[in-house]
């Protein structure tokens, strides 16, 4: 997602206000406050050269990083970028055809780089796609997929141990995975396999309440035993048992790592030793000369402290009136949450139109 224009900012604030009201009035709802005073991550290196200003995906490698831009209009930016451990670009790989909106990266068990071409701000795509770049290859291969229930905007991708991609939608945090093997020249049908219930948050970020609910990236630890989802404000780390990513996300209680006040944090990866999270932000709308900075956030132990409560927020679960049915307050909260999501959709559409107008 790109930030453009004062009018669209007002729409985001309005949508965020509705979500805040729903969260704040939830009876017994948990608000996750990861630390009393969350600190920004430690700088690792700055990405120079100017071609990576809209970084939407990053993975760490043994000798550096792989990064992609978010749907870049400039052909020179529509590449898969390989960087060394000082964030200098050492190699790029072009796409054989133009991608639509590349939003995340993942690495398979065999080292294959997966590029998630899944962004859809105005929800108009009939298909989404992943690009697979095997180790040592210089040409990624395209595989198309289609949702069973209409378009969704998404910015996060995980890959299971058996090479099955799992797409996480941006605001509803629904999980979709292909029901058939991916094949070139064919469109694999997706099925909904679950939904993530993230605890609420108070972490400061440029998008306010909206930024605390938007899933903008995902990553798998090198040992495959942990996965993480990130928003503009926080990272949520889940333990994985027997490689079951979906069960971890739908039934697990996450550890929370605050990522405060990143300019527009859409990328997350594990360090190669699995002891830290690494993040990087888009800088397209930052002051001239601002360079993207990779930041490091130490992780708690694998058996670390869980979130204060895994109770879903009001947009995920209505308050119970003691009979096992949603009470009147809960019904109101669900309605408020639905209105908030509707306003978010309006805001995103305005963002997209403003972006296109500015590029003309």
- Confidence (pTM): 0.78
pLDDT in tens, 310-330: 333 333 333 333 333 333 333
Q: Is the pLDDT of residue 272 over 90?
A: yes
Determine phi and psi for 245, rounding to 5 degrees.
Answer: -65, -40
Q: Is the pLDDT of residue 24 over 70?
A: no
Given a cut of 80, is residue 261 above it in pLDDT? yes
pLDDT 10s digits, 152-170: 999 999 999 889 999 999 9
Kind plus residue range of the DSSP H or E element containing 11: helix 6-24
What integer pLDDT is reported at residue 288 of this predicted model? Answer: 82
> How far apart, in Å, do the first and last CA atoms of the chain sit?
18
Residue 304 has pLDDT above 60, yes or no: no
pLDDT band at 300 (very low <50, low <70, confident <90, very high): confident
Within 8 A by CB and 6+ apart from 356, the residues are none
Note the pLDDT of residue 31: 46
| The predicted structure's pLDDT at residue 73 | 80
pLDDT value for 36? 55
Q: What mean pLDDT do residues 276-305 have?
A: 84
Cβ pair 116, 130 in contact under 8 A:
yes
| Three-state helix/strand/coil letters over 45-109 | EECCCCCCCCEEEEEEECCEEEEEECCCCCHHHCEEEEEECCCCEEEEEECCCCCCCCCEEEECC
- The predicted pLDDT at position 161 comes to 87
How many CB atoms sit inside 10 A of residue 135's CB? 10
Q: Which range among 265-274, 320-329, 347-356 has the greatest average pLDDT?
A: 265-274
Q: Tens of pLDDT along 55-99?
A: 999 999 999 999 999 977 888 899 999 999 999 999 999 999 999
Inform me whether the pLDDT recorded for 201 exceeds 70: yes
Mean pLDDT, range 29-39, rounded to an integer: 54
Q: What angle do CA 246, 267, 68 make, to 5 degrees?
A: 110
**Residue positions counted in the chain:** 360
CA 143 to CA 93: how far, in whole Å?
A: 17
Average model confidence (pLDDT) for the chain? 81
Residue 120 token pair:
């859809």
Mean pLDDT of 117-133: 97
- Asked whether 351 and 10 are in contact (CB, 8 A), the reply is no
Mean pLDDT of 48-59: 93
Confidence of residue 54 (pLDDT cuts 50, 70, 90): very high
Supply the pLDDT for residue 7: 34
Please give the Cα distance from 180 to 177 (Å, whole number).
9
Q: Which residue reads 């017994």 in tokens?
A: 28
Token digits of residue 336: 């408020």
Q: In the predicted model, is pLDDT for residue 18 greater than 50?
A: no
Binned at pLDDT 50, 70 and 90, residue 38 comes out as: confident
Ranges 29-33, 123-127, 158-162, 197-201: which has the least confidence: 29-33
Euclidean distance between CA atoms 89 and 279, whole angstroms: 17
* Percent residues over pLDDT 90 in the chain: 65
> Where do we find the tokens 């995975």?
177
Quick one: pLDDT at residue 326? 36
Under the banding of pLDDT at 50, 70 and 90, the label for residue 281 is very high
Residue 347 backbone dihedrals phi, psi, to 5 degrees: -60, -40
Distance (Å) of CA 146 to CA 72, 94, 119, 253? 23, 24, 13, 30
Distance (Å, whole) CA 284 – CA 53: 5
Average pLDDT over residues 277-288: 88
Question: Residue 233 and residue 174: Cα distance in Å, rounded?
Answer: 19
Instruction: Calculate ∠ Cα 329-23-217, nearest 5°.
Output: 135
**More confidently predicted of 140 and 288:** 140
% helix / strand / coil in the chain, to the nearest 5? Answer: 20, 35, 50
Query: Which CA distances in Å does 323 have to 288, 319, 348?
Result: 58, 11, 38
Residue 287's pLDDT is: 84
Phi, psi angle pair for 246, to nearest 5°: -65, -45
């Amino acid at each position: 997602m790109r930030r453009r224009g004062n009018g669209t900012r007002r729409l985001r604030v309005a949508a965020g206000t509705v979500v805040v009201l729903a969260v704040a009035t939830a009876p017994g709802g948990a608000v996750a406050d990861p630390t009393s005073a969350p600190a920004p991550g430690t700088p690792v290196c700055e990405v120079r050269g100017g071609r990576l200003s809209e970084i939407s995906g990053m993975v760490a490698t043994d000798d550096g990083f792989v990064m992609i831009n978010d749907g870049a209009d400039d052909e020179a930016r529509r590449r898969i970028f390989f960087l060394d451990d000082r964030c200098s670009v050492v190699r790029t790989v072009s796409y054989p055809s133009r991608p639509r909106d590349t939003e995340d990266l993942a690495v398979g068990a065999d080292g294959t780089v997966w590029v998630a071409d899944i962004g859809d701000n105005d929800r108009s795509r009939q298909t989404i796609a992943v690009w697979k770049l095997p180790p040592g290859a210089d040409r990624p291969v395209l595989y198309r997929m289609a949702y069973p229930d209409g378009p969704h905007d998404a910015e996060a991708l995980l890959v299971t141990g058996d090479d099955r991609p799992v797409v996480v939608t941006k605001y509803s945090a629904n999980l979709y995975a292909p029901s058939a093997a991916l094949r070139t020249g064919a469109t694999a049908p997706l099925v909904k396999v679950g939904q993530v219930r993230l605890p609420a948050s108070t972490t400061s970020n440029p998008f306010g309440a909206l930024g605390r609910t938007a899933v903008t990236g995902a990553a798998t630890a090198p040992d495959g035993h942990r996965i993480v989802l990130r928003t503009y404000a926080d990272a949520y780390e889940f333990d994985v048992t027997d490689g079951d990513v979906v069960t971890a996300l739908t039934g697990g209680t996450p550890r929370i790592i605050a990522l405060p006040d990143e300019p527009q944090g859409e990328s997350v990866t594990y360090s190669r030793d699995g002891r830290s999270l690494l993040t990087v932000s888009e800088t397209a709308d930052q002051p001239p000369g601002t360079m993207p900075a990779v930041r490091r956030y130490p992780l708690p132990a694998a058996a670390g402290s869980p979130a204060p409560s895994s109770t879903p927020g009001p947009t995920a679960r209505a308050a119970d009136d003691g009979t096992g049915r949603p009470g009147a307050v809960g019904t109101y909260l669900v309605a408020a949450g639905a209105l908030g999501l509707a306003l978010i959709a309006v805001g995103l559409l305005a963002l997209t139109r403003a972006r296109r107008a500015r590029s003309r």
